[in-house]
Amino acid sequence: MNKSIKFIVNYVLGPLLFIVMTYTLYKQIINQPDLNLRWSQIKTSWQNPLFWIVFALMFLNWGIEALKLKYLLSHLEKLSFSKSLQSVFAGSSITMLTPNRTGEFGGRILFVSEKNRIKAISANIMGSISQLVVTIFLGISSLFYFLFVLKQHPISLPWFFNLTFFYSGLAIAFFLLLFYFKVHYFIVFVNRIPFLKRFVKHIAVVDSYTSKELLSVISLSLIRYSVFILQYLLMLKVMQVNIDVKLALLLLMFFYFIMALAPTIGFTELPIRATVSVLVLGIYSDNIFGIQVAAFAIWIINLVIPAIIGGLFISTIKIVKEHEHN
């Protein structure tokens, strides 16, 4: 790569991404219906200590993700917790511009040495799969409880659609779990296809994890899932959405299940979040405005603020190093 291209990549691309991401988030926020009322409600909630607990839990949420990434990348290189945390924040920034958060890998690998960046993508994918497995399994567990124990619909859809959700989710979860723990067979399969064989060296790292290590990653994903469920429960309390805690827990598990499967782009995710939250929670509370503001506040705290922090990290990093020593 010649010097002029390196200069553009290192000193123009990062700040440009930050500007584009910030602008798209700004447009998304100012175009919200009843923005003044929603923002006024959030500012009022600042007086509630629970709001600041939710805010503090954001750092725990992403801190756990950083630990998970550090653990997965340890087979490639030793990454400090600080670098790992910067990496996940950077990923949260890039993902705001891509469908279903697929772009997070592009941000995360920037803090890995250049020689390991392609390999690091597959390690990141394993982390994402672990989180998706937890989200889908707990989501279908919630749906099972509604359909077969409570014998009621969590959302106002015909029985057929709820059953389709359940069995489709179950199939996806088991497929992901099988892939996650038996990824060795995928590597063997890829190695047997001539035109794909050359890529095996870049994804072989996922074959180096033991079952115990993969279980540890699943455990971290479960803890992180518990954190953002707790955040949402507390935010509903702050916004005076009075739903029984057990019922709200089940509904939020189902909510995150739908969000995991819904096609979204980070910066346009808010309307979908607001719609799904009302669809799921609105049956059990008539405080629709509170439900919408809670979704808005969680989006700001868990996604927008980390994205801005990540954008700042990206804007200051040299994406392409002048010299890299092994």
Length of the chain measured in residues: 326
pLDDT digits (tens, 9 = 90+) for 152-202: 777 766 677 778 888 888 999 999 999 999 998 888 888 888 877 888 888
Neighbours of 207 (CB within 10 A): 15
Q: Could you tell me if 277 and 236 are in contact, meaning their C-beta atoms sit under 8 angstroms apart?
A: no
The b-or-e profile of 29-67 (16+ CB within 10 A means b, else e) is: beebeeeeebbebbeebeebeebeebbebbeebbbbbbb
Give the tokens for residue 261: 């499967």
Domain limits of the chain? Answer: 32-78+115-306
Q: Of 254, 298, 250, 251, whose CA–CA distance to 274 is shortest?
A: 298
Number of neighbouring beta carbons within 10 Å of residue 259: 18
Q: Could you give the CA distance from residue 183 to residue 185 in angstroms, rounded to a whole number?
A: 5
The percent helix, strand, coil of the chain (3-state, each to 5) is 80, 0, 20
**Average pLDDT, 10 consecutive residues per value, the chain (326 residues):** 50 61 66 71 85 96 96 92 92 76 76 86 92 94 88 71 84 92 88 82 88 96 97 95 94 92 70 86 89 90 89 71 47
Give the 3-state secondary structure of residue 68: helix
**Helices 14-30 and 81-94, interaxial angle, to 10°?**
60
Q: Mean pLDDT over all residues of the chain?
A: 83
Q: Tens digit of pLDDT for each residue in 107-161? A: 788 888 888 888 898 999 999 999 999 999 999 999 999 888 887 777 766 677 7
The torsion angles phi and psi of 48, rounded to 5 degrees, stand at -90, 125
Angle 21-27-28 from CA coordinates, rounded to 5° = 90
In angstroms, rounded to a whole number, what is the distance separating the alpha carbons of residues 317 and 12?
11
d(CA 223, CA 221): 5
Residue 231's beta-bridge partner residues? none
* pTM of the shown model: 0.85
Nearest to 91 by CA among 318, 314, 321: 314
Is the torsion defined by CA of 192, 196, 201, 203 positive or negative?
negative
Distance CA 69, CA 82 (A): 11
Element (H, E) at 249: helix 245-261
- Per-residue DSSP letter, 169: H
